[in-house]
Homo-oligomer: A and B are copies of this chain.
Amino acid sequence: MSTVSNKPEGVDAEVWDRMLRATPAEARRIIRSGAFQAPTSGLCPGYAQANLIVLPKEQAYDFLLFAQRNPKPCPLLEVTEVGAREATICATDCDIATDFPKYRIYRHGELVEETTDVAAYWRDDFVSFVIGCSFSFESELVEAGIEMRHNTMGRNVSMYLTDIDCMPAGSMGGKMVMSMRPIPHDQVVKAVQISGAIPKVHGAPMHIGDPAAIGVRDIAHPEFGDPVDIREGEVPVFWACGVTPQSIVMNSKPEFAITHAPGCMLITDTKNIDLKE
């Protein structure tokens, strides 16, 4: 399967070459070693990638209910046992504290640090929410002949903070984050149908067309990730995004939270096709 991905800036060419040929388990070990600290879009095509939010048990019920009420931005692939650092359902030999290329630390809703390893922060009362990612349907879109502009430009996908409210749950609430891909107008319906067939990884788009209709003020300046070119005849298509929990954390201000850095995902052992059940 061709992913038509170009090397992200700053990544060592030899490491990139190993990542392109790696199994998910091998990719996690390379990431764990610290050798790869970049966005993971296009890697291990056919396997699900995942977003992360780690919260103290005290906030876990509210967030679990938030995810139940907001399955489009927060499709849960796995919720770990309290205190466990290992994922066991979506992957094996998987350390949640080291196997994402980059993490963000939030204290009372403020982003205080970006780091490549959160083992030093781990606590016995942490619960990890592993959330499906739109990169899962990207490989199918590419297979169907739809260019993923951020991959061909060697960039992170564009993500926007919209003015669409999530349904709140207890202490958790806020606006939805959406990822955007420019799609030629004659491929939009195909993109809806292909992504819609995988509801466990965000499913069909939330919005097609005018960015202003969902409160996106400046398409050239995404709140997360990188801008990409939108060419003549292309339509911006927006999907619910697993960075939404970071918007929720910023709004709801839990005492402490760890997330992945946008675009820098966990590569799981779960095949996308098994998410279609």
A residues neighboring B (CB under 8 Å): 60-61, 64-65, 67-69, 76, 79, 81, 89, 167, 170, 199, 203-204, 277
Chain B residues positioned under 8 Å from A76 (CB to CB) = 68
Chain B residues positioned under 8 Å from A64 (CB to CB) = 61, 64-65, 68
* Distance of A79 Cα from B204 Cα, bound (Å): 24
A97 to chain B, nearest CB (A): 21
A92 to chain B, nearest CB (A): 15
Beyond A68-B68, A69-B79, 17 additional pairs, beta carbon < 8 A: A60-B61, A61-B61, A61-B64, A64-B64, A64-B65, A64-B68, A65-B79, A67-B68, A68-B76, A68-B79, A69-B89, A81-B170, A89-B167, A199-B199, A199-B277, A203-B277, A204-B277
* Distance of A76 Cα from B169 Cα, bound (Å): 15
Chain B residues positioned under 8 Å from A81 (CB to CB) = 170
Chain B residues positioned under 8 Å from A199 (CB to CB) = 199, 277
A132 to chain B, nearest CB (A): 13
Closest residue to A64 on the B side, CB-wise?
B64
Closest residue to A167 on the B side, CB-wise?
B89
A-B pairs, 10 with minimum CB distance: A61-B61, A64-B64, A68-B76, A65-B79, A68-B79, A64-B65, A60-B61, A64-B68, A61-B64, A68-B68
A164 to chain B, nearest CB (A): 15
Chain B residues positioned under 8 Å from A68 (CB to CB) = 64, 67-68, 76, 79
A149 to chain B, nearest CB (A): 27
Closest residue to A81 on the B side, CB-wise?
B170
Chain B residues positioned under 8 Å from A167 (CB to CB) = 89
* Distance of A67 Cα from B71 Cα, bound (Å): 14
* Distance of A79 Cα from B203 Cα, bound (Å): 22
Chain B residues positioned under 8 Å from A203 (CB to CB) = 277
> Can you report 12 A-B residue pairs in the complex whose CB atoms are below 8 A from each other?
A61-B61, A61-B64, A64-B64, A64-B65, A64-B68, A65-B79, A67-B68, A68-B68, A68-B79, A69-B89, A89-B167, A203-B277
A167 to chain B, nearest CB (A): 8
A137 to chain B, nearest CB (A): 16
* Distance of A199 Cα from B277 Cα, bound (Å): 8
Closest residue to A196 on the B side, CB-wise?
B277
* Distance of A222 Cα from B60 Cα, bound (Å): 38
* Distance of A60 Cα from B199 Cα, bound (Å): 25
